[in-house]
């Protein structure tokens, strides 16, 4: 009886993980297809579709665009998130709780709503559809996240550390730069890498706010409109690989934080 339960629980775990990971496995597997259709039987392995992706100027420029948008918007989001977290943690502000709630509120709003809102706003303000507009959209969605991560790690014990620095003659910006930022570095990096991950494969906002130069997810969507092709699998696998790297970096920075 016990053995049956054990076998059943293993089967269940296998089914669950299969459900989660099988699409990814299939995607990666057929990106190595040697023939022109990503359907069984598997004819690979071959790197010809990766070659095709990397020699496609539209895809490679979209890839560079995506990296630029992700890194610049994440750096902006993490800087603003850090400064607001520091402000909320160190100074008594009127209506602090309400303001903190407001700053994290965009986390609960769907990207579609944020994207449409920004589209209307940019139209009205005369900001053209561009990578910059999409980048601003990514700051809007990632700032609350960075704020929440950094604010949660700003404990009271750092207050005395900052005080000690001031006591030893440090000016306010030196306290921030030499003490607070290095002490908070794990949370800051964690916020940065998580923002990168989200920005990297964000589609809806980029789709709504870009036109000619666009990000990789939007370009992939363009590609998909002409039907399935191992090339889409290859580019999808590349996106997935970059996401994995970012998530691993995020986990590492958080784990290092917990150990010390």
Partner 1 sequence: MTAPLVDIRAVSHRFGQLAVLKNVSLRIEPGSYTILLGPSGSGKTTLLSILGGFVTPSEGKVFIRGEDCTAVPPARRPTTTVFQDYALFPHMSVGGNVGFGLRMQGVDGATRAAKAREALALVGLSSAFDKKPHQLSGGQRQRVALARALVIEPAVLLLDEPLGALDLKLRRQMQDELKAIQKRVGTAFIHVTHDQEEAMALADHCVVMNDGRIEDEGPPERVYARPATRFSATFMGESTILAGKVTEAGDRTGTVTTPAGPVSVRSALPEGSAVALAIRPEHLMLGGAAGTASLGMAKVSDVVFQGSFKRVLAVSVEDPSLQFIAKLPASTTVQPGDTLAVSCDTDQIIVLAD
Whichever of 55 and 260 has its CB closer to partner 1, that residue is 260
Distance CA 175, CA 165 (A): 6
Distance CA 77, CA 80 (A): 5
Distance CA 32, CA 46 (A): 5
Distance CA 50, CA 78 (A): 33
Whichever of 159 and 248 has its CB closer to partner 1, that residue is 159
Whichever of 190 and 209 has its CB closer to partner 1, that residue is 190
Whichever of 29 and 170 has its CB closer to partner 1, that residue is 170
Between residue 133 and residue 192, which ones bind partner 1 under the rule CB under 8 A? 157, 160-161, 163-171, 174, 179, 182-183, 185
Smallest gap from Cβ 8 to partner 1, in A, equals 47
Do residues 232 and 175 lie in contact, with contact meaning Cβ atoms separated by under 8 Å? Answer: no
Q: Does 256 bind partner 1 (CB under 8 A)?
A: no
- DSSP letter at 180 equals I
Smallest gap from Cβ 178 to partner 1, in A, equals 8
Smallest gap from Cβ 161 to partner 1, in A, equals 5
Smallest gap from Cβ 1 to partner 1, in A, equals 51
Structure tokens at 17: 């993980």
Q: Which residue, among 184, 97, 91, has the nearest Cα to 146 in the 3D structure?
A: 184
Between residue 53 and residue 72, which ones bind partner 1 under the rule CB under 8 A? none
Here's the x/- map for partner 1, 210-229, by CB under 8 A: it reads as --------------------
CA dist list (Å): 150 to 10, 11, 78, 156, 186: 38, 40, 9, 13, 9
| Binding stretches for partner 1 (CB under 8 A) | 157, 160-161, 163-171, 174, 179, 182-183, 185, 260
């Amino acid at each position: 009886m016990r053995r049956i339960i054990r076998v059943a629980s293993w089967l269940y775990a296998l089914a669950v993980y299969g459900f989660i990971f099988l699409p990814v496995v299939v995607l990666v597997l057929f990106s190595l297809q040697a023939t022109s259709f990503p359907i069984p039987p598997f004819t690979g392995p071959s790197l010809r579709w990766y070659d095709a992706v990397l020699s496609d100027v539209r895809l490679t420029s979209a890839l560079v665009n995506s990296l630029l948008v992700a890194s610049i918007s994440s750096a902006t989001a993490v800087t603003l998130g850090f400064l607001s977290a520091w402000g909320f943690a160190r100074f008594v502000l009127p209506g602090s709780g309400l303001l903190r709630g407001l700053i994290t509120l965009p986390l609960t709003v769907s990207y579609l709503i944020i994207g449409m809102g920004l589209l209307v706003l940019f139209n009205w303000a005369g900001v053209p559809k561009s990578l910059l507009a999409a980048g601003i959209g990514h700051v809007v969605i990632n700032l609350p996240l960075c704020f929440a991560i950094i604010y949660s790690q700003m404990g009271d014990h750092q207050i005395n550390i900052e005080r000690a620095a001031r006591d030893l003659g440090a000016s306010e910006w030196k306290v921030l730069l030499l003490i607070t930022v290095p002490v908070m570095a794990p949370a800051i990096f964690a916020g940065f890498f998580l923002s990168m991950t989200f920005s990297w494969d964000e589609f809806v906002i980029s789709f709504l706010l870009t036109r000619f130069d666009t990000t990789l997810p939007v370009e992939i969507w363009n590609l998909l409109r002409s039907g399935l092709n191992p090339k889409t699998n290859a580019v999808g696998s590349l996106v997935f690989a970059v996401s994995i790297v970012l998530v691993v970096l995020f986990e590492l920075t958080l784990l290092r934080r917990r150990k010390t």
